[in-house]
């Protein structure tokens, strides 16, 4: 399957048509141990990872950004910025690693089955992104409420 890692049909099945050209170039760089910066991954960091179904990495990055920016003041904001820039560099590589792992899982299947399975495990997941945004927003509001005295402020 090593020869098929950069096969256009496989990448398209895993990523989708809309962003195919960017990911073809990125996957080629990653295969050669180079990096390619993604501004969307930098700006949306953990949401980008969750959107691309890299759930563990997305949750870890989200927790780091949320707690550092919430509890560490100015230094936390700097940490969040650095983590976001690193996500712009390495976030798409997490997608590539997922792609390679799944491609290896399907190596004994016919080409049609490989493409069908890559479509199933690849793509994106907007439901988890919406959930992450809602969770972050609600949790942030609860923390703000508690940090400002909670119900005590209404007495």
Per-residue 3-state assignment (H helix, E strand, C coil) for 64-122? HHHHHHHHCHHHHHHHHHHHHHHHHHHHHHHHHHHHHHHHHHCCCCCHHHHHHHHHHHC
- Give the start-to-end residue ranges of the domains of the chain: 2-150
H or E, element range at 144: helix 126-147
pLDDT at residue 83, as a whole number: 96
Q: What is the DSSP letter of 54?
A: -
10 phi and psi angles, rounded to 5 deg: -70, -45
pLDDT at residue 154, as a whole number: 54
Q: Please answer whether residues 98 and 53 qualify as being in contact, where contact means their C-beta atoms are separated by less than 8 angstroms.
A: yes
Q: Please answer whether residues 36 and 30 qualify as being in contact, where contact means their C-beta atoms are separated by less than 8 angstroms.
A: yes
Using left for φ > 0, alpha for ψ between -120 and 50, and beta otherwise, residue 79 falls in alpha
Q: How far is CA 21 from the centre of its chain?
A: 18
Q: What is the pLDDT along the chain (155 residues), one digit of tens a residue?
A: 556 789 999 999 999 988 899 999 999 999 999 999 999 999 999 999 999 999 999 999 999 998 888 888 889 899 999 999 999 999 999 999 999 999 999 989 999 999 999 999 998 888 888 988 888 888 777 877 776 665 565 55
């Amino acid at each position: 399957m090593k020869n098929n890692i950069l096969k256009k049909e496989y990448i398209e099945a895993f990523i989708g048509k809309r962003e195919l050209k960017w990911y073809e170039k990125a996957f080629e760089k990653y295969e050669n141990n180079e990096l390619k910066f993604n501004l969307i991954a930098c700006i949306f960091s953990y949401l980008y990872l969750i959107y691309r179904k890299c759930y563990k990495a997305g949750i870890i990055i989200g927790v780091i950004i949320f707690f550092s920016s919430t509890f560490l003041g100015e230094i936390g904001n700097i940490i969040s910025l650095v983590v976001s820039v690193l996500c712009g560099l390495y976030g798409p590589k997490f997608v590539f690693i997922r792609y390679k792992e799944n491609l290896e899982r399907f190596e004994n299947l016919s080409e049609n089955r490989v493409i069908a399975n890559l479509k199933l495990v690849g793509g994106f997941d907007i439901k988890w992104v919406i959930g992450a945004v809602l969770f972050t927003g609600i949790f942030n509001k609860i923390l703000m409420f508690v940090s400002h005295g909670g119900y005590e402020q209404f007495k």
